[in-house]
Structure 1
Amino acid sequence: MLTRAAAALAATIGTSVLALAPAEARPDVVSYRGDYAPGTIVVKTNERRLYLIVDSDRAIRYPVGVGKAGKQWAGTARIEGKYRDPAWAPPADVKRDHPNIPDVIAGGSPSNPMGVAAMTLSGGGQYAIHGTNKPQSVGHFVSYGCIRMYNADIDDLYQRVSIGTPVVVTQR
């Protein structure tokens, strides 16, 4: 895992060309072909993978947990907010399905499903890319539409992108 200082040196934040992290980084740098600008986040729901586009030939790939049946979505958004140890208020559909969940769970609490960081997406604040307190859920169809990442991975991605970063979610 990179230290914060090393990660800051290893990555260019924002939608400019991204520097690749040293070999110790968890995420995979993979060959990638697509029509996305460098700095774009692409989530392929059926693969349960998130790609941060580096250039026309490469992306950084992370495993993710995605929306369960009936809760998946596809479309475009932008990162609207970035938060460390965020508090979490369950959306109405989560509260309806689990009425005993508290109205707010404090950031840093072991029961907070947002993990160490969250990046909210434009479009009403319903969805986010965030860490998780249930790492076993990464790689599965598990959420109400949010994109779950290992805490180490959301920390890495958080340092690489900025507010305004485009996000594309596909079901391919």
Structure 2
Amino acid sequence: MDMGNKVLVSVRDQRMMILKEGLPVKSYPVSTSKFGLGDRPGSMYTPLGTMRIARKIGEGAPSGAVFKSRRRTGEILRPNSPGRDPIVSRIIWLKGMEHKNRNAYRRYIYIHGTPEERTIGRPASYGCIRMRSRDIIDLYRRVGVGAEVKVIRGPLYRIPPVVPGDGYAERQPGRVLGGFRAGPSI
């Protein structure tokens, strides 16, 4: 179980940040739902709130490998290939931890690669969190099953890494990362 890494996704910024032991490590552009936010079964909304990584699928698959029903098809697509919009490269399957996102796992809410890379940075998905292939491959190797993923409406704050005991988080109570407490005590 990965308890040292947390992933924060800002719908407003269309960005994701990885925190390791409470410190910002890496950020990526993403794409959330073009239909809005929520968790209604049958909807194409991106759920808000705290979730956990339930499964990781695609270890060792080449960049652009197409998945259907979580299985590789053998096809490989280049970024921005014309035509349909399949899931590619890696799948990180999320499980909701709150009432407001309890259907995420049954709705097959993933963080996954997309060949539609030109849409990254704006809402364009059908409920999942889309990433460029190179970014989902990088995220996949950095986080494990059990890591917390929090999707928020608001912005990611551009704060410097917090040095334990420097008092930064205490001096910036309104600038804590999307509900995650800055510093190693997250």
* TM-score when normalising by structure 1: 0.64
CA distance 1:86–1:79, shift in 2 (3 Å): farther
Please, which moves more after superposition, 140-149 or 54-63? 54-63
Unaligned runs of 5+ in 2: 37-44, 59-64, 78-83, 96-104, 155-186
Give the conservation status (yes or no) of the 8 Å contact 2:34–2:126.
Answer: yes
Distance in structure 2 (CA, Å) of the matches to 1:131 and 1:163? 18
Give the conservation status (yes or no) of the 8 Å contact 2:6–2:149.
Answer: yes
Mapping 1:90-129, distance limit 5 Å = 106=73, 108-110=75-77, 111=84, 113-122=86-95, 123-129=105-111
CA distance 1:135–1:58, shift in 2 (3 Å): same
Give the conservation status (yes or no) of the 8 Å contact 1:108–1:115.
Answer: no
- Deviations for 1:25-62, whole angstroms, at most 9, x for unmatched residues? xxxxxxxxxxxxxx111111110001111344423111
Give the conservation status (yes or no) of the 8 Å contact 1:86–1:118.
Answer: no
Is the partner of 2:150 in helix, strand or coil?
Answer: strand
RMSD between aligned alpha carbons?
A: 2.5
Is the partner of 2:17 in helix, strand or coil?
Answer: strand
Distance in structure 2 (CA, Å) of the matches to 1:108 and 1:163? 26
Residue in 2 that maps onto 1:88: 68
Is the partner of 1:169 in helix, strand or coil?
Answer: strand
Residue in 1 that maps onto 2:2: 14
Match of 1:72 among 20, 29, 46: 46
Question: Percent of aligned pairs with the same residue?
Answer: 30
Distance in structure 2 (CA, Å) of the matches to 1:107 and 1:72? 28
Q: Aligned pair 1:134/2:122, yes or no?
A: no
The letter for the 1-side match of 2:113 is G
Unaligned runs of 5+ in 1: 1-12, 17-38, 91-103
Number of positions where the alignment pairs a residue of Structure 1 with one of Structure 2: 125
Q: Aligned pair 1:42/2:22, yes or no?
A: no
Match of 1:54 among 20, 23, 28: 20
Q: Aligned pair 1:155/2:143, yes or no?
A: no
* TM-score when normalising by structure 2: 0.59
Could you say which structure has the larger radius of gyration? Answer: 2
Give the conservation status (yes or no) of the 8 Å contact 1:14–1:160.
Answer: no
Is the partner of 1:116 in helix, strand or coil?
Answer: strand
Residue in 1 that maps onto 2:160: none
